[in-house]
Structure 1
Amino acid sequence: MDKVIEVKNLYKLYRVGNSVVRALNGVSFEVYPGEFCAIVGTSGSGKSTLLNMLAGLEKPTKGEVIVSGQHMENLNEDGLVKFRRENVGFIFQSFHLIGTMNALENVALPLSFRGEAKGSRLRKADKMLDLVNLRKHKKHMPNQMSGGQQQRVGVARALVVNPKIIFADEPTGNLDSHTSEEVMHLMQKVVREQKKTLVMVTHDNHLATYADRIFHIIDGEIVRIEDNRQKENSSNLESVGRHGLDGGEEGL
């Protein structure tokens, strides 16, 4: 299977006074199309630096970052901007919605940077707001929506450009636990139904369990990779074993 992201022997060193801090210390991994991957670690573990490298927002000290066949470390600033505009959607912790625009206009905004006609932009934005269950909030301004609703607008805005990859940086960091679960369910649904590749950074081990694979990062090194799909499959089999194929419980 083709890899959508390939990271090879990635280092990022910062000089702080007379000492050198290794934010990333020889990281290597792959992400495949249609996968939901979580990079999980505490503050200062290197997870946000890693996400910035994948998105081409920071240059590595050494190593390779290949995203959709492009070597990010070799692109100049114009090349990176063009690549992100054409291939990447972003979901942020602070929703970054524009307060003077309603939900529909906020979602349509990235398409205006591509020079798309207004009618086409609004049609696509309308469809994306349906997808994230905000049919009744299309004309609402950000200050008329809850945090969870604003983040749904953020998800719709990331999707409207039909990106190959979505990068999510602590996407539930400003939400309560119940709303966080709802947003994670939504992101899972998006990956499955829209066949998107999603890479999320989080400090929350529980939220990371929504991902297909979890990359645990400590002090700039990936210490283990957990595959959740195997767990899901085995728990589904156990469930079938317990309830029998016909006599399953309602709602399973």
Structure 2
Amino acid sequence: MTNRVLLNNVDHADLRVITRHGPEFGDAINQALVLPTELEAAQREYPIFLRRDANGEYQAVVLLGLDRNENLFLDGDGWQARYVPAVQQRGPFSIALQEGRDGTEPMLHIDLDHPRVSRTEGEPLFLSAGGNAPYLQHVARMMGTVYDGLEISRAFFEALESAGLIEPISVEVKLNDREEYVLPDLYTISQDRLKELPPEDLARLNQAGVLRAAYMVVSSLGNMSRLIDAKNRKLAAL
């Protein structure tokens, strides 16, 4: 259950948000959704794959672990990466459209029952004078990334699919004689198809900002070695 309300500096003047990461906040996951607007930051840290959601539409995810509920970037000191996916950063916040003077506009909401919401610990949302605290300014920028990413997501993946760039991938990871993983139902960008794209398709995808993102997905697969190293370290410590 949630208790989402429109955030304001009167009713929520004393609210704080716990920003640390841990299993108690839903961070023990082996995949996390990433949006087209954050692929550049995500590809520096994680392997990025595509998958289909419950409606059969493509979405991008970063691979965080190999076992169920395993996040190899998570330890007792928090999330060990330079970038945390926006969906995991957003915590209790969401955006809802609301009618305004100039039509519908996105407004920031907060779930008062979320485990990150507190009145005694964490980052304050508002200054004593009522203005937005630095953390809330960060949240506004981050939620803008989420909102913009959701707005362009369908067109982004349709452009990739129409160019024939999406292909299924078999991800098999063998750690030793006993530990082997096969990750099903994942897709990637075809490097061969990228090389063979005719000039008109290259120009169209480049103009739409899709071509650069496609190369980011491809280059991100180099991070699989980092993930495997983290898994081996975890197994060696057992």
Q: TM-score band, normalised by the shorter chain?
A: under 0.3
| TM-score, length of structure 1 as denominator length | 0.25
| TM-score, length of structure 2 as denominator length | 0.26
The structure with more helix, counted as a fraction of residues: 1
